[in-house]
Structure 1
Amino acid sequence: MSTHRLTPRTAGARGDDAPEHSGTERAILQVLGGASLNEAAAAEQVGQEDLVEAVEVYRQAGWQALERQQASGWWQVYIQFADWTTSEQVAADTIVPLLSQAEENGLVTNWWFMRKHPCWRLRLHPGADGQAMRAQLAVAFDQAAADGRIARWWPGIYEAETAAFGGEEGMATAHGLFCEDSRAVMRLICDGDVGLGRRELSVLLCGTLMRAAGLEWYEQGDTWHRVAQERPLPEDVPLAKLTTMASELKRVLVADTKPDGPLLSADGPLASATAWADAFRQAGHALGEAARAGTLTRGLRDVLSYAVIFHWNRLGLPARTQSILAWTARTATLDLPARTASNQPTERQSPETARAATSASRTAEDPQERFLARFPLVPQRRFRCPDLETNVRNVRECANSCREPVTAEERINRACTVWNLSALIAADCGLPDLAVDLCHQQFQIFRAASPISGVAAIPSLQPLVNLARLTRRAGDPEGAYRELEAINRAVRGGGKVMIHGEPIDFNGLITDCPSTVDRWLRDVMRDDGTRALAAAGQWANAATHAEKYDEADTQLREARQTRIIAHLTSGQTGTALDMIDNTLASEDWEHAVASCLRGYVLLQNQSLGPTEVIDLLNTVRRACEATDRPTTLFRARLRLAAVDLALAAGFQARVLCTELVEDAERSADAFVAREVLTHAECRAWAMPVQQTGLHALVEQAGLGAGHIPWPVLAELMASIEIAKSVLTETLSTMTSGEVGGEKDSAARADAVLRLR
């Protein structure tokens, strides 16, 4: 029927302002009021078919009007911050208190935000008086801009993405989730971590959302696939990295997130995130019910994929991180090979191809970024990496000697050496799951023998620290730092914490924290904690952290190096130069590192010329003349830092590169060989025969191979069985006197057994 019959006629001759309703309209109103179609049609003399059509038109128009009203009910505000990098902290310190006050006053009923550089888009739902809300918040935002807390603000029009979220019902559910998610993100920023990194936490929440919606495992995988299609994989991301990360992420994807489960229960390690997870669970359930009832106008998995992307935006995950996370989750759930940015399948890579791809990605990096990635640069004793068979044979010899010592302390140390070296070999060979399992098995032996004290305390903590190191290896340095902090706190205060995706109960594990344990933990926090933050690019936090644990803050160690770089990355080159010049440097390596940092300052000031580069290279060469084998890897990284500075300034460093290649050959160390081969410029100065030899070192060591030949693996696992037996027996028979001693050998052993 023609819609003109639904348009009110002007009263005209009646002389009043009210519109005159047609018979069709009166019939529609009767039907909407509860009358039957037959009665209304007869009363107003309207055909039944016309009336059915007219009622449907009215209903559709009503839904459209409600949709416009709902969208217009949200007030959108653009907030621009003076510094985008600190925007979330400013929002937490400035915007959230304003909104909280507005809620207390009844001006705002709900709010949420999205990030879109250079602004945040804030959506506010008014209370009873929308005009008062706009007026009072405008004054507050004006004041924030006037005193410099924000750069500026302006109002806008909010256009809800109703179609993308499956219609009105889906959009309403999404809005509810957006609001709870926004509040939780702000609490995270204000209160600090919840015991899990942002990436892992987001996967945990999104997995909860999908399961609550009723998706089975492979349906979840299809949802991750849809997310991945919206976030193409950067071409420089090595596919091997996704495979490694997938095995780690799978633990998070299958984690138990029930309210009374081990993670989110009142005494669980993620108890503070319970309300956050509840919001995702409720939203998932509502969307799943809507899909099953047929009230979603878009596929459930499409809607959920958009919810994931919106959540990642609020959480502040960079686009690159979102891409890697989406493709990793897709790989973990569907067990499909990752695809390139063009979404074309890629063939399985041979070790040689993988090396070339890794080298290409390193080449694409900026030399200045490579330079910073090597800091802090402090000599640490790292034993060389021989061929795999020799490595495993050394472990077996250690296992065979486990029963020889008279003291329980030495038997424990030798048994733990077997465990730790085996986990290290597994990780180096590209078998992170095996490394994780070995760490868990080792810890469970100590857990079963708890409470632990004295000489057994440090060995009981070593597998947990190694798990945190594996987290960093998996590409999550922030998560590794949080795990190290959690271990440091829990040793002293107990409780349950998340370590590498698993809850670890520290209650009753260690009876006390003697000075040796405290000193060992301080060393771990200084060495591993600082480097984890540095690897995440959080130089200011790394410096603040290192200063708590580095007692030699006037020397060029972790604290001073990270503080200098923190000044440099924030543009305070003068302050950085003063710190370098006032450093107490007494050893050649300190002078070399100081020279590198000074060169970086000059590079930022565009004053690193030929003379300065020559002086820098000569200083580094002198420092690398030492032949102490345990510091070969440090010398290689020091040389490469100098090479990168020279390259960034437009110069070559042929002599330093050729010396490094020769040093790598002499060392017979696969770790050093790998450093050379993954640096394109340095590798280019190696003769073909040298490159072949270095490649052979890496291959024979099995670095990144993704497997261990069965006979070798069998020997490794046999060594583990011996160590398991010795460790279990020793812990069960130790006397209180043996348990209570305090010696340094366990701490010294850990320095040897680091998961690099």
Structure 2
Amino acid sequence: MDPQGSTVQRFPLVARFRPACLPLSKRVRALVDLADTAVTETDQGVASSVYNQAALIASDLGLPDLAREMCHEHAAAYLHACPLSAMSAIRCLEPVVNLARLQIRGGYADVGRQRLLDLYAAVEAGRPARFEGVAVPADLTAADKDRREVVAWLWRVLLADGTRTLTTEGRWTEALAHIEAHRGVGKRMLDGRQVAVLASLAEGDTAHASALLVDTMPGETWEQTVTACLTVLSRRAAGQPADAQLADLATTYLDRQAEPGMTVFDIRLGLTVLDAVGPADLPAARRIVEDLHRRATEAEDGYAARESLANRLFIELATDRHEQDCRALVRACALGAAALPDHMQGALSTALRDADCVIRESLALSTPERPRQMRSRDGGYNARRGGRALC
């Protein structure tokens, strides 16, 4: 098995929610609507989602400096009000995590992973830390139980994101060591167990990989499909036939129902199945390509289209229309365009001012002794006069 091959680099394959990358105009419109919802419902969580999604849009467009600026503003909206409840502290740290992710996206995977490790260690120990000018205080949380909840969240982030920085480079043994250091190898086919299987295959230990697969708890349906994919890889690495497993694998994937927020996972799973089936079963492979095209275009997900276009077998088997549709979708989503039209930037700026207003007001309401202030749309502050503030 090639530890750096495109097929294995998709692992760990875990069904985590990821908002669709819609065409840019729709994406910005949805963000403006989300900001309106945050104001109407005075919802801190929705307001934080506005910031997170805006930073992701900037990053997807190839504007990392703009994304960093948004992350700094997002963190500042919370940090002035420490100590925080567990949920507010998690929302406060989301932009700090996103700063690390920007490093990873920018090609500095080891730097990004180390920042996640440092953040986890600082919060766990209750000591201050600084990341790209963002000062995380020792008294981030109001109580020890809140801090423990934040640490548990950071642990999950560290397992998923930290592991991915190593697996995408084919560093499977290091990835397994990272997971084991944080007690992340379980019995179900989640991040840790997938990495353990592939680390064994990368080292040529097909017997241990097979034992891990056999001893896996079934879990959800998608977990069983991932287990089947890894079983095919394991049998091939051991020089064993996998025809019986392949027939069931293609059918199981094609029967999988689409779910909101799962399109990228479905595409990556489908591409992995496509690579496993390969030219040996062209009718099944063509059905999978049809399915990949349908999922990407129906969801209008630019991420999904981009992933498909990067796959050699997809390009070989796709019709001209399939390929054209996917390329048009990537263009409409402006992925890597390195530019944001002025009117859209203005709409995002207004949405972020509203989100900042909602976050600060929610924190003021939770601590009555602190003066209540609201940010006006021109960026200044107005005293709150009672009733629901108009952001």
Query: What's the TM-score once normalised by structure 1's chain length?
Result: 0.45
Alignment partner of 1:621 is 2:254: yes
Q: Give the match for residue 389 of structure 2.
A: none
The structure 1 segments of at least 4 consecutive aligned residues displaced by more than 4 Å after TM superposition are 494-498, 547-552, 608-612, 649-652
Among 342, 362, 366, the alignment partner of 1:734 is: 366
Contact kept in structure 1, 2:3 and 2:202, CA below 8 Å: no
Residue 605 in 1 paired to residue 241 in 2? no
The reply on whether 1:387 has 2:23 as its aligned counterpart is: yes
Q: Does 1:376 align with 2:12?
A: yes
Residue 36 of structure 2: aligned partner: 400
* Structure-2 separation of matches of 1:606 and 1:704: 41
Contact 1:422 1:435 in 2 (8 A): yes
Moved more, 536-545 or 426-435: 536-545
1:4-34 deviation line (CA, Å, top 9, x unaligned):
xxxxxxxxxxxxxxxxxxxxxxxxxxxxxxx
Give 1:425 shift: 0.8
- The residue identity in structure 1 corresponding to 2:340 is I
CA distance in 2, matches of 1:616, 1:658: 16
Residue of structure 2 in register with 1:464 after alignment: 96
SS of the equivalent of 1:385 reads: coil
Q: Are residues 1:532 and 2:168 paired?
A: no
Q: Following the alignment from structure 2 to structure 1, what is the Cα–Cα distance between the partners of residues 96 and 191? A: 23
Q: Which residue identity does 1:565 align to in structure 2?
A: L
1:555 equivalent in structure 2: 188
1:720 partner letter: L
Quote how far apart the aligned CAs of 1:387 are: 1.3
Number of residues paired by the alignment? Answer: 365
Superposed CA RMSD in Å reads 2.7
Deviation at residue 495 of structure 1 after TM alignment:
4.4
Mapping of residues 417-496 of structure 1, within 5 Å: 417-495=49-127
> Is residue 677 from structure 1 mapped to residue 309 from structure 2 by the alignment?
yes
Cα distance in structure 2, aligned partners of 1:674 and 1:594: 25
Assess if the C-alpha contact under 8 Å between 1:413 and 1:459 holds in 2: yes
Structure 2 partner of 1:6: none
Q: State the secondary structure of the residue aligned to 1:413.
A: helix
In structure 2, relative to structure 1, the CA distance for the partners of 1:729 and 1:566 (3 Å cut) is same
Note the C-alpha offset of 1:610: 4.6
Please say if residues 599 and 616 of structure 1, whose CA atoms lie closer than 8 Å, have aligned partners that are also in contact.
no
Note if 1:566 corresponds to 2:202.
Answer: no
**Tell me, what secondary structure is at the counterpart of 2:40?**
coil
Give the aligned partner of residue 268 of structure 2: 637
| Inter-partner Cα distance in structure 2 for 1:690 and 1:594 | 29
Q: Is the 8 A contact 1:386 1:669 kept in 2?
A: yes
> Shift of the alpha carbon at 1:580?
0.3
Aligned to 1:193: none
Separation of aligned partners in 2, 1:418 and 1:503? 20
Partner SS for 1:507: coil
Q: Indicate if the aligned counterparts of 1:483 and 1:498 stay in contact, CA closer than 8 A.
A: no
Equivalent position to 2:44, from 412, 419, 432: 412
**For residue 250 of structure 2, what is the amino acid of its counterpart?**
L
2:321 is the alignment partner of 1:689: yes
Whichever residue aligns with residue 639 of structure 1, its letter is: G
Equivalent-residue separation in structure 2 for 1:448 and 1:576 (angstroms): 50
Contact 1:492 1:512 in 2 (8 A): no
1:612 is displaced (CA, Å) by 4.8
Contact 1:376 1:561 in 2 (8 A): yes
Distance (whole Å) between structure 1 residues aligned to residue 87 and residue 130 of structure 2? 25
SS at match of 1:401: helix
Residues 573, 367 of structure 1: alpha-carbon distance in 2 compared, 3 angstrom cutoff = closer
The answer for the alignment partner of 2:218 in structure 1 is: 585
- Amino acid in structure 1 at the alignment position of 2:352: I
Cα distance, 1:547–1:737 mapped onto 2, change above 3 Å? farther
Pairs within 5 Å for 1:40-189? none
Measured against aligned partners, the alpha-carbon deviations of 1:357-410 in whole angstroms (never above 9, x if no partner) come to: xxxxxxxxx7971111101111111222211111111111222233333xxxx6
Deviation readout 1:668-701 (Å, 9 max, x if unpaired) = 2211111111213202322222222222221111
Q: What residue identity is the alignment partner of 2:47?
A: A
Please say if residues 415 and 724 of structure 1, whose CA atoms lie closer than 8 Å, have aligned partners that are also in contact.
yes
Q: Residues of 2 paired with 1:503 and 1:386: CA distance?
A: 31
Structure 2 CA distance, aligned partners of 1:665 and 1:721?
Answer: 33
**Distance in structure 2 (CA, Å) of the matches to 1:400 and 1:609:** 53
**Map of 1:523 onto structure 2:** 156
CA distance, structure 1, for counterparts of residue 35 and residue 230 of structure 2: 44
Q: CA deviation at 1:644?
A: 2.3
- Structure 1, residues 454-500: CA drift from partner, whole Å, max 9, x if none? 4421111111111111121112222222111111111132445464x
Quick one: which amino acid aligns to residue 629 of structure 1?
P
Distance in 1, matches of 2:94 and 2:232, equals 38
Q: Distance in 1 between matches of 2:366 and 2:211?
A: 54
Q: What SS does the aligned partner of 1:620 have?
A: helix
SS of residue in 2 equivalent to 1:369 = coil
Pick closer, same or farther for the CA change 1:441–1:390 going to 2, 3 Å: same
* Structure 1 gaps, min length 5: 1-365, 739-756
Percent identical: 30
1:591–1:619 Cα contact (<8 Å) kept: no
